Amino acid sequence: MREARAFTEAELLPHADRFDAEGALPRAFIAQLSDRGWLGAALSTRWGGGGLDAPTWGRLHGDVGRACGSTRSLLTVQTLVGLALERWAPEPLKARYLPALARGELLAAFALSEPSAGSDVQGLEARARPHGDGYVLDGVKRWISFGQIAHLFLVFARLEGGMAAFLVEGSSPGLTREPITGLLGVRATQLAELRLNGCFVPASHRVGGGDLPFSPVAATALDVGRYSVAWGCVGQAEACLAASMAHARTRRQFGKPLLEHELVARKLTDMLTDTRAARLLCQEAGAKRKARAPDSESATMMAKYFASTAASRISADAVQLHGASGCIQGSRVERHFRDARIMEIIEGSTQMQQVMIARHCALDDLEGDES
C-alpha cells in the first residue's frame, strides 16, 4: 500500500487539478490505472481481478481519494458494477465481461438515477418489457458517472411491477448519451444523461432475477459504492488536514504562527479528531466486510455517513484556515471542498443515511465488540 500512496503522490496529485479543470480523466491515465490493476483490484482472481480484501481495497481508495476524487469515482463505479455482476450475473455473462472489466479494457457505469427518481429509487420510470428473446428498454438515466466513456451500463428499470437490472452495451442501438457539464465537484467524472429509446437487451443480459420493488443488485452495488466513497472521504479529510497543519505552522498573523492562536488550534483539533474517527469507522466497516459480518452493511452506512459529513466540515474548515489562499483553484483544499459536497449526495445522501442507519443498526451491533 505504500507503493499505492507513492504512485498517487507522484503520478496523480500533480495532475488532479488539471483533470478537474479539463473535466475528464485522460485515456492514457486510465490506462495507467488499468496497468496497475486498480480497476479490477477488488474483483475475484477467478476473473483476473486482484482479489484484494475489503480493508486493503478500502485503503487504496483512501489513497486515491486523497489525491483526486474523480479518479476514486472511476474506481468506485467500475468496482461496484463488477462486484454486482460477480454476485448476481449468470455465469456466461460473467465469463464474457468480467475479465475485460478486471483488466480495465472495458469501463462500466451504474445507471440507476433518473430525472424524477433520485433518493426515491422506487419511483423509477424507465421501463423494460419482454420482447422476443430479450427486453426492450425505454427511459432516461441522469447523472451517470463516466457515462460519457463507459462501454457497459448496469441499467435499472421497472419490469412487471418489480425492479430489474440489465447489462447494456454502450454501443446498443437505441442508447444515446449527452454529456453533463458544469458540476460543482468531481468535475472529471464525465457525467452523462442516457436515453433509452426502444433499446433491445438480450435475455442473457438480465442480471439477477425476481420482482422485488428494490433490486438486490442495486443494493449490492450501492453498498460497495458507499464503502469506497467513505474511504475516499477519509483521503480528502487527510489531505485537507495535512495542508491546514502545514499552513497553520508557517502562516504568521499577529506576530505568531496561526497554530498558536487558540481558535485555530481548536479547529485543527476538531479536524484531527474527525479524521481519525472517520478512518476508524472505515477500518471497522472493512473488517466487518472481510468477516462477512451480518452488520457490515450498517457499519458501511455509518462509515459513509460520518466520513462524508466529516470531509465536508474538514474541507470547509481547511478553506477557512487558508483564508484567501484557500479560495483559489489549485490550492488543493478548494477542490476537496467542492468534491466533499458531492460525497454527501451520492450513494445515498446524508439524509438517506440518517433515515437508514436508525432503521438498520441495532444497539447490539454497537456493543458487540467490547468484550
Residue 282 CA to residue 299 CA, distance in Å, equals: 8
> Which range, of 52-60, 143-151, 243-251, 363-371, touches ligand FAD by CB under 6 A?
143-151
User: Given candidates 38, 110, 231, 337, which one binds ligand FAD under the rule CB under 6 A?
Assistant: 110
342 binds ligand FAD (CB under 6 A): yes
Q: How many CB atoms lie within 10 A of CB 171?
A: 8
Residue (of 27, 29, 106) closest to 64 by Cα position: 29
Q: Are 82 and 44 in contact (CB under 8 A)?
A: no
> Which range, of 89-97, 255-263, 282-290, 339-347, touches ligand FAD by CB under 6 A?
339-347
Q: Which is nearer to ligand FAD, 299 or 346 (CB)?
A: 346
Q: Are 137 and 166 in contact (CB under 8 A)?
A: yes
Dig out the grid coordinates for 87 from the structure.
Answer: 454476485
Residue 37 CA to residue 49 CA, distance in Å, equals: 7
Catalytic residue among 238, 262, 347, 370: 347
Q: Which is nearer to ligand FAD, 183 or 258 (CB)?
A: 183
Q: At what angle do helices 69-88 and 91-103 cross, to 10 degrees?
A: 160
CB of 177 to ligand FAD, least distance (A): 12
347 a catalytic residue: yes
275 binds ligand FAD (CB under 6 A): no
> Which range, of 86-94, 108-116, 249-257, 277-285, touches ligand FAD by CB under 6 A?
108-116
Q: Are 172 and 127 in contact (CB under 8 A)?
A: no
Contact residues for 35 (Cβ-Cβ < 8 A; gap 6+): 104
CB of 275 to ligand FAD, least distance (A): 23
CB of 14 to ligand FAD, least distance (A): 23
Paired with 158 in beta bridges are 127, 163
Q: Which is nearer to ligand FAD, 67 or 111 (CB)?
A: 111
Q: What is the DSSP letter of 261?
A: S
What is the binding site for ligand FAD (CB under 6 A)? 77, 109-113, 118-119, 143-145, 183, 186, 189, 191, 342, 345-346, 349, 351-352
- Catalytic residues, by residue number, are 347
